[in-house]
Structures are given as C-alpha cells and as structure tokens.
Amino acid sequence: MQKPKKIILDCDPGHDDAIAMILAASNPHIQLEAITTVAGNVELEKTTLNALRMCDILGLEDIPVARGAEQPLVREREIAPTIHGKTGLDGPIFPEVPKKAVVDQHAVDVIIEKVMASNDDIYLVPTGPLTNIALAIQKEPKIVEKIREVVLMGGGTFGNWTPTAEFNIYVDAEAADIVFKSGASVTMFGLDITHQTIASEAILKQISEIGNPVSHLVSELLIYFSKSYKQVFGFDGAPIHDACTIAYLIDDSIFDFEKVHVDIETEGNYTYGTTCVDRLHVTGREPNVKFAHQLDYERFWRLIVSALRGG
C-alpha cells in the first residue's frame, strides 16, 4: 500500500465538515496530522467545540486540535445558522462537555510548525474560510513551497451566499486572494462539483440501515442538513461539499479536473468573494488551480457508505 497522505484539516464544523472528518479518520490512506478550526459556519467557540465533539466520537485522542482565527482578515464576520443551525451541528444531541481539549498553540503556529517539519509531503485541507491558511502564509512564507497541495472546498462558477459568491470564499475573500496568489498548488472543489454530491433518499436509507453509532450520527446530520437545503435552496437533499476534499485524497480517479486560472474578487459592488474561474482561458493567464468539474456519483457515495460500514 502507498504511504498514507499527511493532512491538516482546517475546518469550521459544520455538517459536511464533520463528514469530511469521519472520512479522514477512518481511511488508511489518510494520516491526520492536526485539526485546526476557524470561524465560519458559526463562531470559533462553536466550530472548535464541534471539532472536539467529533474527535471524541471518532476516538481521535492523539490528534491535536488547535483554535484558529476568530475573525476574517478585513471584513466583519458572517456566519451561516440558516444552513447549519445555532450550534453549527444541529440535529444530533452531543454530550455537553467534550472529553478532548484543544492544544495550547494557535492553529496558525500548528500549521507552520507541521509544514516546516515535513518532507514537503503535507496537504492542507481547508473546508472553511481561508483565514488560518492566509495568516500562516503571511507569517511564514516559506511554507508555500513545502506544502504538497492545498486541497480546498470553496468557490465555483456560481454562488450560494450571493448570486456569484460561495460562502467559504465570501466570508474571507482577502484571505482567499492571498492563498490563490501564493504560488501554492491549489486543488479546488467548488460548488460546480460539490452540488453533484447531493445525498439522495436512497443514500439516506442505505446509511440509516448500517446501524452503528457513527452511521447513526451521519443519518441525523444529513436529515437536518437536507431540511436546511430544502428550505433555503429548494434542493431535494444536501450536498456534502467538504467531503469531496478527502474523497479526492483517497481516490483522485473519482473526479475530473481542468487546469484553470482563478482570481478572487475582493471589491465589486455585487461580486465580492467571487472566484473568477477562467474555464475558456480568455485571460491567457497561467493556470494556478486544478479545478474539479465532474465526479462519479456512484463511486463517491460508495466510498462514504463503506467508510461508515467500517471499511
């Protein structure tokens, strides 16, 4: 078997972040080096609490969890309770106080330390706003050439927070701009791809029939998340956006990619936070992003369902 891929999951759980965690924790191809948290779907206090609760459930006693940025770099914070509820993980009932505690080090320093100590073989996997990653690049620019890939969920050729902007990029577009311009290898899972992952009724049924504690939790998460997506967007099910990043690291042949140039809009009256994806190469600019545009639905869900069955 190939060596497991070392990853730092930088997240804002979040229903789909939680499913990404489950997939990462259960797969032998992935070695979780750290989990870092950021304000996004809800405030930092709550995303951190949710990450710790998920670690308890998944038995990740030895994986450090570090708190990151409470605020975007420049703009006022925005959160998404309409999608993820007040707690950020509405649906299941969790024990009030998690057993696990955060480490006494800021997420940005954990990222820098792990990347600098690596043999250029570490993947950063942001599934929330890019604030921590941008701060790490600003504090220690040398990490850029040591990061194997930034595998992120964000952006797309349409929006879900404004007509043109996706939530993670919109919340901290200045941070996204730093990351996309940094020269790091960026693999992008935007809404074009993540909306192809909608959990159908048949998938929900398969998961509910597995009948172990983690599959039970995922059922509850997906029931709540699907209800939000029905109410807010009229969708027949919820896309599990963030899990695409981990699925790719486990098996990249599930996805099709194009090399494209992407710029981040940080001004714009109507377009703040838009990822300007040059799919037709009209700018003539060098591609800076590997852009996922197509996935194999059956294989994607087979991976998730078999992870929930225990392999």
Which residues are near ligand BDR by CB under 6 A? 14, 16-17, 41, 80, 83, 127-128, 153, 160, 166-168, 241-242
Closest to ligand BDR by CB, 116 or 232: 232
Closest to ligand BDR by CB, 17 or 192: 17
Strand partners of residue 71: none
Minimum Å gap between C-beta 195 and ligand BDR is 10
- Cα(24)–Cα(64) distance, integer angstroms: 14
241 catalytic residue (yes or no): yes
Pick from Ca ion, ligand BDR, none: which does 83 bind, CB < 5 to 8 A by kind? ligand BDR
Amino acid at residue number 227: K
Closest to Ca ion by CB, 57 or 244: 244
Pairing of strands 255-264, 275-278: antiparallel
Closest to ligand BDR by CB, 160 or 164: 160
Burial class, 1, CB count within 10 angstroms (exposed 0-12 / middle 13-18 / buried 19+):
exposed
Nearest to 154 by CA among 117, 186, 106: 186
Closest to ligand BDR by CB, 143 or 243: 243
Q: Considering the candidates 106, 241, 261, 293, report the single residue annotated as catalytic.
A: 241
Cα Rg, the chain, nearest whole Å: 18
Minimum Å gap between C-beta 77 and ligand BDR is 14
Strand partners of residue 275: 264
Q: Which residues bind Ca ion (CB under 5 A)?
A: 12, 14, 17, 127-128, 242
Pick from Ca ion, ligand BDR, none: which does 160 bind, CB < 5 to 8 A by kind? ligand BDR
**Residue entry with tokens 């009724």:** 201
Pick from Ca ion, ligand BDR, none: which does 167 bind, CB < 5 to 8 A by kind? ligand BDR
Q: Which helix (DSSP H) or strand (DSSP E) does residue 295 occupy?
A: strand 289-295
Closest to ligand BDR by CB, 13 or 98: 13
Pick from Ca ion, ligand BDR, none: which does 10 bind, CB < 5 to 8 A by kind? none
Minimum Å gap between C-beta 15 and Ca ion is 9
Pick from ligand BDR, Ca ion, none: which does 166 bind, CB < 5 to 8 A by kind? ligand BDR
Nearest to 304 by CA among 215, 189, 192, 231: 215
Nearest to 233 by CA among 107, 83, 126, 89: 83
Minimum Å gap between C-beta 159 and ligand BDR is 9
Cα–Cα distances in angstroms (integers) from residue 98 to residues 53, 54, 101, 178, 212, in the given order: 5, 9, 7, 34, 20
- Cα(55)–Cα(284) distance, integer angstroms: 45
Minimum Å gap between C-beta 51 and Ca ion is 11
Minimum Å gap between C-beta 196 and ligand BDR is 13
- Cα(84)–Cα(160) distance, integer angstroms: 14
Task: Kindly state the DSSP code that residue 62 receives in the 8-state scheme.
Answer: T
Pick from Ca ion, ligand BDR, none: which does 80 bind, CB < 5 to 8 A by kind? ligand BDR
Residues listed for the chain: 311
Question: Where in the sequence numbering do the catalytic residues fall?
Answer: 241
